[in-house]
Amino acid sequence: MTLDADRILVLGATGKTGRHVTDALRAAGVPPRVGVRRPAASHAVRFDWHEPSTWAPALDGVGAVYLVKPPIDPVPPITALLAQARDLRHVVLLSEMGRERKPADDPERAVELAVAGGCQEWTLLRPSWFLQNWGPDGTWGEQVRRTGEIVLPSGDARFSLVDARDVAEIAATALTAGSGLGALTLTGPESMPLSELASRIAAASGRPIRHVSPTLEESQAQLRASGAPEAWIRYLAGIEADAAAGVCAPIHDDLRRLLRREPRTVQEYVDEHACFWARPVAP
Ligand SMILES: NC(=O)c1ccc[n+]([C@@H]2O[C@H](COP(=O)([O-])OP(=O)(O)OC[C@H]3O[C@@H](n4cnc5c(N)ncnc54)[C@H](OP(=O)(O)O)[C@@H]3O)[C@@H](O)[C@H]2O)c1
């Protein structure tokens, strides 16, 4: 194989895992090409799921890709991209915990099947929910800081919360492994309801933080009122219902085994970011 065919492309490189996958590959001496919507650095190329004309230049000569799905309706673009990526040998797909139990027409499961069925080498990463969701990089970080509330319709359901940096480390390992690592369920070392996460953030930050659990219907109505697209509301409702049913509660050993160390803990993450939650948001 030529050196060019070994080139690695990282998608979602501005995201919670992608940025750390890029850093880990650079640290390992294999600087990747990064595909982003707004390229700034010289190693970055433009890649937008909504603009198929950006795919071929980004994939040119690429042998392995870290694939972060488009947020909505992922099957058509991923199927089309895989069909045109001739040099691609290995896809490391960021999927989700529990997708193997879904029917084949579930979009996230369909993407897993397309990757496993259509690629020479494949690695499916199925992480539990990221701790980063509620921290400085997360969708709900500012909300927690502003309101002191973690809002999710999960009731008492437990989450085996995982640090996205550990997931990224496994992605980088897979991308440089030369062959696919198969399907991996990546969880943190402990499982807890979000009320416990809230208590720990409160203790570390010195601010009252609580978990608020609306019903699924209330949660969807809030999203609709905020103008979120219907497809996104449907997707979120699906993962929230799964979480409430305990799909993301079990603890698996894949992460510890592949890291060859203990995965990062909830407490480590909370202590590391205590200052973020402690600071009040400017009015
Ligand atoms: N969050 C979790 O707890 C969690 C847990 C398990 C699995 N996952 C999976 O991880 C994946 C990513 O979710 P995340 O929450 O962690 O998000 P994220 O990776 O932090 O952010 C999404 C990334 O996708 C990029 N992106 C969005 N729209 C794009 C487009 N049209 N074209 C190209 N790139 C685009 C964003 O780039 P910009 O900077 O340009 O917006 C960003 O880099 C999802 O498939 C999800 O199922 C997430």
What does the alpha-carbon distance between residue 194 and residue 210 come to, in Å, rounded to a whole number? Answer: 8
Check: CB of residue 116 under 8 Å from CB of residue 104: no
Check: CB of residue 192 under 8 Å from CB of residue 161: yes
Ligand 1 neighbour 34 (Cβ under 6 A): no
What residue owns the CA closest to ligand 1's atom 12? 68
Token pair for residue 59? Answer: 């994939």
Ligand 1 center to residue 9 CA distance, Å? 15
Report the chain's C-alpha Rg in angstroms: 19
pLDDT for the residue 5: 43
Token pair for residue 3? Answer: 């050196």
Pocket test for ligand 1, best of 14, 99, 167, 185 (most atoms within 8 A of CB): 14
Q: Which residues contact 100 (CB under 8 A, 6 or more apart)?
A: 109, 112, 126, 183
Ligand 1 center to residue 17 CA distance, Å? 8
Each residue's pLDDT expressed in tens, for the chain with a length of 283 residues: 444 446 999 999 999 999 999 999 999 999 999 999 999 877 899 999 999 999 999 999 999 999 999 989 999 999 999 999 988 999 999 999 999 999 999 999 999 999 999 999 999 999 999 999 999 989 999 999 999 999 999 999 999 999 999 999 999 999 999 899 999 999 999 999 999 999 999 999 999 999 999 999 999 999 999 999 999 999 999 999 999 999 999 999 999 999 999 999 999 999 999 999 997 776 6
Query: pTM for the whole thing?
Result: 0.96
Longest dimension (CA), the chain: 57
- All structural domains of the chain, each given as residue ranges with its CATH number in brackets, are 4-129+163-187+250-263 (3.40.50.720)
pLDDT for the residue 2: 40
pLDDT for the residue 6: 60
